Structure formats: C-alpha cells, structure tokens
Structure 1
Amino acid sequence: MKIILLGYMASGKSLVGSELAKILRLEYLDLDQFIEEKEGKTIQKIFLEKGEIFFRKIENSYLEEIISSKENLILSLGGGTPCFTNNLELIKKSKDVTSFFLNVPVNELAKRLMLDKDKRPLVSYVSNENDMLEFVGKHLFERLPFYNQANYKIDGNKAKEEVVEDIITKLF
C-alpha cells in the first residue's frame, strides 16, 4: 500500500504524513526532503541555481523512482508536484497507490504561508497577508483541477489527529 498526500503548500501534508506513518507503522517520505538529500541542496537553492524547469525534471524522476521501488509507504508531495510533467499520471496509474488531497481554505493557507514564507521559494517575496491571499487564491485556482483528481478529498483544516483519522477511515 502506498498512500500519497497532495495539496497546496502549507496544507499540512508533512505533519499529517509523519503522524499517519507512525500509526500505520509505514515508512514516511517527504518528496521535497528526499530530493534535498539526493541532491545535497535545499529546494530553495536548487530553484535559485538551476531554475524551476530543472527542479521539475528531477522531481519527476525521483517520484517515479519512489513509486516504482518502494513497497509500503506514505509520501507527501510538494504543492506543485501533481501539476507538472506526467506526475499525476504516475500516481493514478499505479495500482497500489491511494491519493488524498488535503483541502485547506485559501485564507488559512495564506496565514500559514506568511509564517513560513522564507522556506518557500514561490512565496518568499510576498510582503503582506493581502498579497499572499491574492497569490494563493490565483495559484490554488490553477492547481485545483490537478488536486481534485486524487482518490479522496479530505478537509485539511482540522487538527492533525482528526485529518489522520479521516484518512484511516477512508482506507479501511
């Protein structure tokens, strides 16, 4: 069984994924952390040095590697992962993958991102909450058609434990 968590930046994929892995006793991987370890650089540094196109290419190859080689695991994707190359098709065609979209309202995502923007290359330049709200609203609108193709849509605007419980209920 492979469980893949997708959703916008700051939707709680990493928090939920690591908690879910503990409960289900499965390996947990965060795709961005996996890429950072393999490349020996932060995602931010890869974006700065080589650009987004390079990043999306390696992201795709690492996603394919993980999906094809790992047996049982929980994997959190980067916010843009399902929206580029054939990543969504890789996820959907894999028979042992169940995907979950952690859906969080735009205003909550904007608040969370304002607190964490220095670690996120796509929003690091945003200076205030109104601009963040506008950016997230437009960006999320573009990405929703991809996210909505997950097997399940979960309300991610709850306590981590409740989100984990909702996922387990859908799985079993």
Structure 2
Amino acid sequence: MVYMKIILLGYMGSGKSSIGKSLSKVTNIPFLDLDNVIEEKESISISEIFNAKGEIYFRKREQEILNNVLRDNQSLILALGGGTPCYGTIMQNLNDMDDVTLIYLKASIQELTLRLWEERAHRPMIAHLKDKIQLEDFIRKHLFERNFYYNQASKKIDTDGFNISEIVQKIVVSLF
C-alpha cells in the first residue's frame, strides 16, 4: 500500500490548520496539527512550554514528536508550526522522505498582517505588538529569515485572495 504524507508549512496565519482540516474532508486523509500533538503529549500549551522550559527544549521535543508522527505507516495531512521547518535538519529530513509532499502555503506580508492583527491576542509571539506597523515589521523580519526554508517545499500554493475551498482545490489539483 502507498502512503501519502502531505505536510503543510508556512508562516503563522497562512491557514495551515484551516486548510488542513478542509483538505482532510475532501481527501479522506486524517489531519493532525503538530502543535496540538505537542500540547497533548506535554499536557501544557506551546506558550507554557516556551515559558517553563525554553525554546531549545521545545525545538528538541518538537523534532522528536514530528519524527514519531512521520514514522507511522499511514497517510496523513500534517500542519507544522510556523517555525518547525527552520530548525536543525528538519527540512532536509522531510525532503529526503519518499512518501512526503511538502506544501508551502504562501501568503504576502500584507495578507498575513490583516489576518494576524485580529488574532494577535491568541498568539503569544505577537500579542505584545501595539499596532499594524509593528506587526508588519515583525512578519517581514521573520519571513526574511524563514523563506529560505519554506521555499524548499516541493509545492508552493499562493493563498492571497483565495478562500479555503479554493486553496484546497489548488492543492488537490497539484497532488492528483
């Protein structure tokens, strides 16, 4: 049997979880959000892990849990955390796997700023930002650092101006 592991990556607010859930319904492939799996295994939230144990602990645990999830012989759709592909050898390891398709959900800085401004209270990394200009600068800096990793994905899907079902359709067409 052929297993398909579809991995969604991109910046926070790019729609990885929402699109992953919808793609799962269309394809009948189970969906997992890596952040949720980590929180379940650790029994605390991601922000609490960062605060209590630090980023180095979190990144090591994240890689360990990711490896365990991918080791299972089953098809799945997996949403990574925004920073997951940027640490250690994660992107190289993912690209070396035969049954993995990496999809970068690419959104512009302007689109991410619009989406994240409304959600910032629920996102610890950006909750402290006071206005849209600070948020846009924050996103610009992170995207500059992370695009090297994100662009290693075999498929890139532009999300600006498209709703979830249109993006899912673009992904399905690119896969099958």
Question: TM-score, normalized by length of structure 1?
Answer: 0.97
Spell out, residue by residue over 1:64-113, the C-alpha distance to the aligned partner (whole angstroms, 9 max, x if none). Answer: 11111141000000000000012112211110000100000101111211
Judged with a 3 Å threshold, the aligned counterparts in structure 2 of structure 1 residues 43 and 70 are, in CA distance, closer, same or farther, namely: farther
- 2:29 aligns with 26
Superposition deviation, residue 43 in structure 1? 0.6
2:167 to 149, 163, 169: 163
Q: Which position in structure 2 is the counterpart of 1:69?
A: 72
Rounded to whole Å, the distance in 2 between the matches of 1:152 and 1:165 is 14
Unaligned stretches of 5+ in structure 1? none
Alignment of structure 1 residues 1-172 onto 2, 5 Å: 1-157=4-160, 158-172=162-176
Q: Which moved more, 1:55-64 or 1:107-116?
A: 107-116
Of all paired residues, the percent bearing the same amino acid is: 44
1:138-168 Cα offsets, whole Å, 9 max, x none, are 1111100100000101012210001100110
Moved over 4 A (4+): none
Q: Distance in 2 between matches of 1:152 and 1:112?
A: 23
Q: Deviations over 1:30-54 (max 9, x none)?
A: 0001101111011111111111111
Residue aligned with 1:10, SS: coil
SS in 2 for 1:107: helix
Could you tell me whether the CA contact under 8 Å between 1:47 and 1:121 is conserved in 2?
Answer: no
How many pairs does the alignment contain?
Answer: 172
Relative to structure 1, the CA distance from residue 55 to residue 70 in structure 2 (aligned partners, 3 Å threshold; closer, same or farther) is farther
Give the stretch that moved more between structures: 82-91 or 160-169: 82-91
Q: RMSD across aligned C-alpha pairs, in angstroms? A: 0.9
